[in-house]
Structure 1
Amino acid sequence: MQTRRNFLKTAALASAGLAVSGVNAMSGQSYNRIVGSSRKINIAYVGIGNRGEQIIGDFEKTGMVNVVALCDIDMGAKHTQKVTAKYPKAKQFQDFRQMFDKMGNQIEAVAIATPDHSHFPICMMAMAYGKHVFVEKPMARTFLEADLMMQAARKYSKVVTQVGNQGHSEANYFQFKAWQDAGIIKDITAVAAHMNNPRRWHTWDVNMYKYPDAEPIPPTLDWINWNCAVPYHEYN
């Protein structure tokens, strides 16, 4: 899939760390040709809590989107209620398939901030429906999924696609590239990285080897749909 190529015209997505250009390199279509310069693009958000809320805020800052649909497997949770209250006119869904089925003609673009394992099916369906796609990293779970998504992006050449990745968009990446271009660093054959500490957003045991014990499923949560494209496991 394309990265850092026009999803919205010269839009600065602050927390995603992206700077997008005014032309879609794959199809050669400008923003003006895709949506017209005199109106906003009709967008749907899939995954609206936590990181999804941050992305929604970044898109709002551009002033170029009209929110027509909100989709989340837990629309009644505290972390999604803030967004639903902000866009009361947007249609609400718990299943992205129903969203596309019922509102396909009204949606022009989709921003996806769901758990990693559901990126692939949502993106593939969006592209098949002819919707422009912004998806958070990681793009997919497997090499095969990523390859199929790239094939789809080429097949649906009028669809603009973008992956949000701070690591490829912020200053440290370009500084390293500048060092490499200047010959300060050269002959790089491999880069190895390993994480062996809990991250700031969780305190999970990094040596975890099985799913945690089951807990009651919250009444607002569609847990079956949360599992999406992976084998079922109990909620925790």
Structure 2
Amino acid sequence: MSSNPLFSTRRSFLKGLTVTTAGGIILPNMLLRAQDTPASKKLGIACIGVGGKGFSDMVNASFENEIVAICDVDAKNLAKAAAKFPKAKQYRDFRKMLDENEKAIDAVTVSTPDHTHFPAAMHAIALGKHVMVQKPLVNTLWEADQLHKAAKKKGIITQMGNQGHTFEENRLLKEWFQANVIGEVKEIHVWTNRPIWPQGPAVAPKDAEVPEHLDWDLWLGSVPSRPYQTGIAPFAWRGFFEYGSGALGDMGCHNLDPLVWGLGLGVPDKIEATSEGLTDIAWPKGAKVQYLWKNIAGHGEVKLFWYEGKNADGTPCQPAPPKELGDQKLSGSGFYMVGSEGVLYNQGDQAKKLTIFPEQRSKDFLASLPAKTVDRSPTPGDPQKEWSLAIKNGKEFAFMSHFDYAVPLTELCLLGDLAIRTGKPIEWDQKKFEAVGNPEANKLIKRAEYRKGWDYSVDKI
């Protein structure tokens, strides 16, 4: 078994990025232009959702910028963020924050539960503000389409917060695919240890008094008003259809990213799914999804299998290990790919620990690595800084997880969710934006109801 020994050394080398000649590091054009940007130029950043991941998003976005306004429906989150950035104006309602500080705000981060990504981002886009939205961008297909169109209409610079897209390893893997590391790829198996929150029959919310620190009405956002219940905010909302997008929505934009990016996977021809423990309100405790592409350039027919959660007997829902692993057990999350010339196995999320099989092919390939032809991010692991640099340079860059890339990636996850929820095969028509001959699925493409004052659309901006 031969693992990839080059990641650590290459990562160290990248710390001192410089332009080199053939086969060396490619310095992104962004950095060349960024040198002409006045060092004193700071963006006014407003942050929607500043607890948990939102806090780190806020801190990262503050690099060489100014946090001018912060917003959170939870007073505890807001207080912690205000202690970090005491000069920032504080709000509970992002609509009020954006409208009252329009001139001071250049860009907006959105790090809220999935169901409020859309209204928050759309309100910012309507005002012409650049946006960075956490993954997945939204939790309905219609909202993904509307968000993409709105960003195009307003000409803003966008980014999705799937930080792995900035990693060196993802760039390297794309070059490996271009060099036919395992020949023609035929099957891909991707699995995750998610959900780590309740799903299926374990989801049992109970009516209760609203905590004093939480504005429940604002937390609901677009969805119909309803009494407060335990077991939803601040974390377990991912298990609900209404608020989250399940394990596939949570981790698909991470773990499918290096494969979609590397192989150029577009709209699949067919999606099928089976699940264990699906309920009327909650994503299942376990699921398997199969995506089929009939003709991927350089590979032909490709099947991708996604596994999440637990089987009926409580064991992890995972594929059978490839025979090349021998007695080695699969990692808790990861992927492996079966090609015409070998197998590529990754332990863990993203593409950080790769092994090539058989061993002789690994030795031959690693002995003569392909040239670096893909631009590297200047800020590995930090999409907020990458986004900020792009704004200051006046354009998005091809290697970013901008909406032209991030919307299709999000839609791929949501199509899998659609198959899970209906239990029926999905043949997706991207032009008509519908599941062919599947009225049950088509009813779920758009949220059934939007509250008054939260009903955003591209036609209204």
Normalised to the residue count of structure 1, the TM-score between the two structures is: 0.74
Aligned to 2:50, what secondary structure does the other structure show?
Answer: coil
> What are the residue-to-residue correspondences of 1:122-161 with 2, within 5 Å?
122-157=120-155, 159-161=156-158
**Cα pair 2:125 2:151 within 8 Å, conserved:** yes
> What are the residue-to-residue correspondences of 1:1-236 with 2, within 5 Å?
22=30, 37-60=39-62, 62-63=63-64, 65-74=65-74, 76-77=75-76, 79-157=77-155, 159-188=156-185, 191=188, 193=190, 195=192, 197-199=194-196, 204-208=197-201, 210-233=203-226, 234-236=228-230
Q: Deviations over 1:189-216 (max 9, x none)?
A: 67454546543xxxx3332465411232
**Cα pair 1:196 1:206 within 8 Å, conserved:** no
CA 1:116–1:190: 2 relative to 1, 3 Å: farther
- Please say which structure displays the higher CA radius of gyration: 2
Distance in structure 2 (CA, Å) of the matches to 1:99 and 1:178: 44
Distance in structure 1 (CA, Å) of the matches to 2:199 and 2:193: 6
Distance in structure 2 (CA, Å) of the matches to 1:120 and 1:106: 22
Q: How many residues align?
A: 202
Q: Deviations over 1:24-82 (max 9, x none)?
A: xxxxxx7799x96532111111001111111122223x22x1111111011x21x4322
Shift of residue 162 of structure 1? 0.9
**Cα pair 2:70 2:78 within 8 Å, conserved:** no
**Cα pair 2:45 2:61 within 8 Å, conserved:** no
Counterpart amino acid of 2:206?
D
Unaligned runs of at least 5 residues, structure 1: 1-11, 13-19, 24-29
Counterpart amino acid of 2:200?
N
Q: Between 213-222 and 126-135, report the one with greater CA deviation.
A: 213-222
CA RMSD of aligned residues (A): 2.8
Counterpart amino acid of 2:48?
V
- Percentage of matched positions with identical amino acids: 37
Q: Between 134-143 and 179-188, report the one with greater CA deviation.
A: 179-188
Q: Between 207-216 and 109-118, report the one with greater CA deviation.
A: 207-216
Unaligned runs of at least 5 residues, structure 2: 1-14, 16-27, 231-461
Aligned to 1:107, what secondary structure does the other structure show?
Answer: coil
Aligned to 2:121, what secondary structure does the other structure show?
Answer: helix
Aligned to 1:22, what secondary structure does the other structure show?
Answer: helix
**Cα pair 1:31 1:37 within 8 Å, conserved:** no
Counterpart amino acid of 2:163?
Q
Distance in structure 1 (CA, Å) of the matches to 2:82 and 2:199: 34
**Cα pair 1:135 1:163 within 8 Å, conserved:** yes
- Identify the residue that residue 5 of structure 1 maps to in structure 2: none
- Identify the residue that residue 434 of structure 2 maps to in structure 1: none
CA 1:175–1:155: 2 relative to 1, 3 Å: same
Distance in structure 2 (CA, Å) of the matches to 1:187 and 1:143: 31
Distance in structure 2 (CA, Å) of the matches to 1:31 and 1:118: 33
Q: Deviations over 1:177-235 (max 9, x none)?
A: 23311112354467454546543xxxx33324654112321112110110112234433
Shift of residue 173 of structure 1? 2.8
